[in-house]
């Protein structure tokens, strides 16, 4: 039966041909015949479905398919202009949303105050309003939106799209995010039936950063340090989520120095309670420096505040101690530090403990870097998640049938 992801051969369907073109493994009709074993007529029929859907276009002349020479073959390209993706990235106190092309380019974006503690109904309703305004600004009609990607600051069961016991998202546990965001989008645009994908923010930041800057890195780890702490892991080009979305939740690893620090999850000694942006903000506030969140700490660091810098470096040392285990276990090629605290003081602290505690073999070729995409990483990752899901072979076949082509 056609449609198994990644399969090529005499029964390869249109979805597999699309995957070969998108990956660059076969970009001419002749190359597709060679890769799949399909006849010229069958390749033509299946490509015709993709052309009629508007998913493929012809590019410039490519290499000559025949060893006997002749005219260059016409290349085939994924038409990334036929649809757009909506993406949003929620933090504890603010959010970003954007319209993206299928190639991952941000066409228009918006950021503003949006508090997750106000609850999912209000927050997702407001996102629907933002999406409507963004589409108007972009000039793209709502019926060109093929999907919505959402990054949230909590563990997500991606099979259901629901957050699972999120420490910093009161009222969100088990909530039907997909259903509410779909309704909100319809309310503000009139379009219906748009699929919604939800994942953890650190996962999507890692996915976006890895694809944009380190596509050849087989093991990539991103640690987001904002009000809380979380990690995203990309292995062999895919996000590693664990059994039910809990992978990377390093903010709740217990650390010895935090025995008296109570975390928002209710436990004592969690890394986030000792070294997260919220913890640093509380220590600054206790000494008379106005700070209530990781974003406040970021502003102080940007202003060169010496006490904020000292506390950020100390927080980095705590995180570096935990990351020594992470690096030894996963042996990544890149460790990226992102989020509100991802500046020089924090990074210095991380490196001090990481290189002291991790096995030398684990760090010999390790790159420890900061974010390239900055605050847009979650949006880029959310958009990529939607595109890879919708144009994967099996899903592509389903969508082509639904389009009647």
pLDDT in tens, 177-218: 999 999 999 999 999 889 999 999 999 999 999 999 999 999
Strand 219-225 with 156-157, pairing = unpaired
User: Are the CB atoms for 145 and 194 separated by under 8 Å?
Assistant: yes
Axis-axis angle for helices 393-403, 14-23 (nearest 10):
120
- Give the CB-side neighbour count of residue 171, counting CA atoms within 13 A: 10
Q: In angstroms, rounded to a whole number, what is the distance separating the alpha carbons of residues 335 and 217? A: 11
Give me the pLDDT at residue 69, please: 54
Backbone angles phi, psi at 371, to 5 degrees: -60, 140
Strand 74-78 with 334-338, pairing = unpaired
Q: In 10 A of CB 239, how many CB atoms?
A: 23
Low-confidence ranges of the chain (pLDDT < 70): 1-10, 61-71
Query: Per DSSP, what are the bridge partners of residue 260?
Result: none
Report the residue count for the chain.
405
Strand 84-90 with 94-101, pairing = antiparallel
Q: In 10 A of CB 161, how many CB atoms?
A: 20
Give me the pLDDT at residue 3, please: 38
Q: In angstroms, rounded to a whole number, what is the distance separating the alpha carbons of residues 321 and 303? A: 27
Strand 229-235 with 219-225, pairing = antiparallel
Q: In angstroms, rounded to a whole number, what is the distance separating the alpha carbons of residues 58 and 283? A: 60
What domains are defined for the chain? 14-78 (1.10.10.10), 84-203+378-403 (3.30.420.40), 215-373 (3.30.420.40)
Residue 131: enclosing H or E segment and its boundaries? helix 120-138
- Give the CB-side neighbour count of residue 284, counting CA atoms within 13 A: 30
């Amino acid at each position: 039966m056609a449609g198994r992801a990644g399969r090529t051969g005499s029964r390869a369907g249109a979805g597999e041909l699309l995957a070969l073109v998108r990956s660059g493994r076969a970009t001419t009709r002749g190359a597709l015949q060679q890769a799949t074993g399909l006849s010229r007529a069958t390749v033509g029929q299946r490509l015709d479905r993709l052309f009629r859907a508007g998913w493929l276009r012809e590019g410039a002349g490519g290499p000559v398919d025949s060893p006997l020479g002749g005219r260059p073959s016409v290349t085939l390209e994924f038409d990334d202009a036929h649809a757009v993706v909506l993406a949003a990235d929620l933090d504890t106190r603010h959010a970003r949303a954007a319209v993206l092309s299928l190639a991952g380019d941000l066409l228009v974006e918006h950021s503003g105050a949006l508090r997750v503690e106000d609850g999912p109904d209000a927050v997702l309703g407001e996102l629907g309003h933002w999406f409507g305004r963004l589409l108007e600004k972009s000039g793209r009609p709502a019926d060109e939106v093929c999907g919505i990607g959402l990054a949230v600051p909590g563990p997500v069961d991606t099979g259901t799209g629901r957050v699972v016991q999120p420490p910093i998202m009161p009222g969100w546990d088990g909530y039907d995010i997909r259903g509410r965001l779909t309704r909100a989008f319809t309310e503000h645009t009139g379009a219906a039936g748009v699929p919604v994908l939800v994942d953890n923010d650190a996962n999507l930041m890692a996915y976006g950063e890895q694809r944009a800057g380190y596509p050849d890195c087989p093991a990539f780890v991103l640690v987001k340090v904002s009000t809380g702490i979380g990690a995203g892991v990309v292995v062999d080009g895919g996000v590693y989520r664990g059994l039910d979305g809990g992978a990377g939740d390093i903010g709740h690893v217990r650390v010895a120095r935090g025995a008296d620090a109570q975390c928002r999850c209710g436990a004592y000694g969690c890394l986030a309670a000792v070294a997260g942006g919220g913890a640093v903000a509380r220590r600054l506030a206790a000494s008379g420096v106005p700070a209530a969140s990781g974003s406040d700490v970021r502003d102080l660091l940007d202003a060169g505040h010496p006490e904020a810098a000292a506390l950020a470096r100390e927080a980095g040392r705590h995180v570096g101690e935990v990351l020594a285990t992470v690096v030894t276990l996963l042996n990544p090629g890149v460790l990226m530090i992102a989020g509100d605290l991802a500046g020089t003081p924090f990074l210095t602290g991380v490196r001090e403990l990481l290189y002291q505690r991790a096995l030398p073999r684990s760090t010999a070729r390790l790159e420890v870097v900061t974010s390239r995409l900055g605050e847009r990483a979650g949006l880029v990752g959310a958009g990529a998640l939607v595109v890879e899901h919708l144009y994967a072979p099996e899903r592509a076949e389903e969508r082509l049938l639904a389009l009647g082509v």
